[in-house]
Structure 1
Amino acid sequence: MLHIDLLTKTFGHHTAVDRATIRVDRPMMIGVIGRSGAGKSTLLRMLNRLEDSTSGAIRFEGRDVTRLAGADKRAWQADCAMIFQQFNLVPRMDVVSNVLHGTLNRRSTLASLFSLYPTADIHRAIDILDRLGIAEHAPKRAEALSGGQQQRVAIARALMQDPKIILADEPIASLDPMNAQVVMEALRRIHEEDGRMVIANLHTLDTARRYCDRVIGMRDGRIVFDGTPAQLTTGMAREIYGADARFSEEATSTEIEAIDRVTTRQMPITA
């Protein structure tokens, strides 16, 4: 279904992604983990064709994505929706209009310029917002929503594209634990209910284990782990993150209970 072969990206003398090879033969929810600078975001940006690869190939359903240009490239970017850490919404625009921006790839320039949307698309946008539990916010400006709500608007915009793959680049990095859980559960439901492939860059091991079918670990641009959540041992995590025996999974956790334990340990003892 998705075959990535020896995919490489260099910036000058720096190799951001080094000969990455991945095979995905059915829709899955995949977590990509690793330290900042490991190459996770660059990998997703090459998949979406926001970045061109230096060498290697990306094939989806037999089509060589790396060679697409013009209208074919834009069609691929509609099939491969991107969700960003900072939401990338238009803050002063209402929520439903932000969601409708997911249709821009298949609309005329004139219709896009004057924000002329078919009634069917408006109803579909509201249905998607309802599915994500935020339909009541449809008429509000995006900037009036919380971070977790804004990220769900961004997910709704991606769903308006009716994509085959959803790429999420650190979708919960800016969120508190409660909102992080809501967003990850939404992505998991989309995978399970729609049969869509979801690939998410994540910082935390507990999130990858809880929500993903498969975990890919990157270090210094290279894939150093590719397996199931059960195979992601603490020892393997140390290898991915380049850490020693002092490495604590709880310190990177998004689970409220683990955060509470770490905070309690760090609180000073007073007489």
Structure 2
Amino acid sequence: MLHIEKLTKAFGPNTAVDAVNIQVEESRMIGVIGRSGAGKSTLLRMINRLTDATSGVIHFEGREITALRGPDKRAWQSECAMIFQQFNLVPRMDVVSNVLHGTLNRRSTLATMFNIYPSADIHRAIAILDRLGIADHAPKRAEALSGGQQQRVAIARALMQDPKIVLADEPIASLDPMNAQLVMQDLRRIHEEDGRTVIANLHTLDTARRYCDRVIGMREGRVVFDGTPEQLTTGVARDIYGADASFSEDSTSTSIETLDRGLTRAVREAEAAV
């Protein structure tokens, strides 16, 4: 279904994604893990075509996605919905209108300018919000909602596109544990009930193990692990994150450096006290 072959993205002398090969033959929920700067976000942005690849190809159902231009590229971006860490909603716009923005790629410029939507789309947007448990918030401004609620609005907007693939770039990184769990449950249900492939960049190992069928580990732009949650042992995680034996299961891709600095500081303070 989705074939990624030798996909590479270079920014000047720096290679963010380095000859990545990934094959997805059937609908899966896939978690991508790795420390900050491993290339996870760049990989998703290339799949969605928000960023062009330097080299390599992406095929989906027989089409070469990396070769699409103009209307064909925009049509692909409707089929391959993107969910961002910072939600990317219009804060002062009501929730249902934010969800309806998922139809922009298939609407005329005039209808977009005057914010005109078919009643069928409005009813569908409300039905999606109801499915996600936030239909009561449809008339509210997006900025009035909590972070977890806003992320579910962003998921609803993605579903309005009726995508075949949902890409989620650190969808729970800015959420508290309760809302993070709700969002991950929603993504899992979308995969199971709709049969959509979901690929999510995640920053905690327990989340990847709990919700994903498959886990891909990236380090310095390369795929260094591709297996089941059960195969993601602590030793494998150390290799992915480039950590030593002090690596903790609670560590995230953005906190390992913080932990190392904290440990070094504590050692120095203890030595100074002696």
CA distance, structure 2, for counterparts of residue 252 and residue 4 of structure 1: 26
In the other structure, the counterpart of 1:3 is 3
What TM-score do the two structures reach when normalised by structure 2? 0.92
Aligned residue runs from structure 1 range 101-250, under 5 A = 101-250=101-250
Moved over 3 A (4+): none
Q: Deviations over 1:156-176 (max 9, x none)?
A: 000000000000000000000
Identity of paired residues, percent? 82
Q: Deviations over 1:8-40 (max 9, x none)?
A: 000000000000000000010000000000000
Give the 3-state SS of the residue equivalent to 1:250 in structure 2: coil
Q: Is the contact made by 2:204 and 2:250 (CA closer than 8 Å) also made in structure 1?
A: no
CA distance, structure 2, for counterparts of residue 252 and residue 11 of structure 1: 25
In the other structure, the counterpart of 1:262 is none
CA distance, structure 2, for counterparts of residue 251 and residue 215 of structure 1: 17
Q: What letter is aligned with 2:51? A: E
CA distance, structure 1, for counterparts of residue 29 and residue 7 of structure 2: 21
In the other structure, the counterpart of 1:66 is 66
CA distance, structure 2, for counterparts of residue 151 and residue 246 of structure 1: 34
CA distance, structure 2, for counterparts of residue 153 and residue 137 of structure 1: 10
Give the 3-state SS of the residue equivalent to 2:117 in structure 1: coil
Q: What letter is aligned with 2:143? A: E
In the other structure, the counterpart of 2:75 is 75
Please list every run of 5 or more consecutive structure 2 residues that lacks an aligned counterpart in the other structure.
Answer: 254-274
Aligned residue runs from structure 1 range 88-107, under 5 A = 88-107=88-107
Q: What letter is aligned with 1:112? A: T
CA distance, structure 2, for counterparts of residue 16 and residue 246 of structure 1: 27
Q: Residue 54 of structure 1: CA displacement?
A: 0.3
Q: Residue 251 of structure 1: CA displacement?
A: 3.7
CA distance, structure 1, for counterparts of residue 118 and residue 228 of structure 2: 43
Q: Deviations over 1:192-229 (max 9, x none)?
A: 00000000000110000000000000000000000000
What TM-score do the two structures reach when normalised by structure 1? 0.93
Q: Residue 123 of structure 1: CA displacement?
A: 0.2
RMSD value over aligned CA atoms?
Answer: 0.8
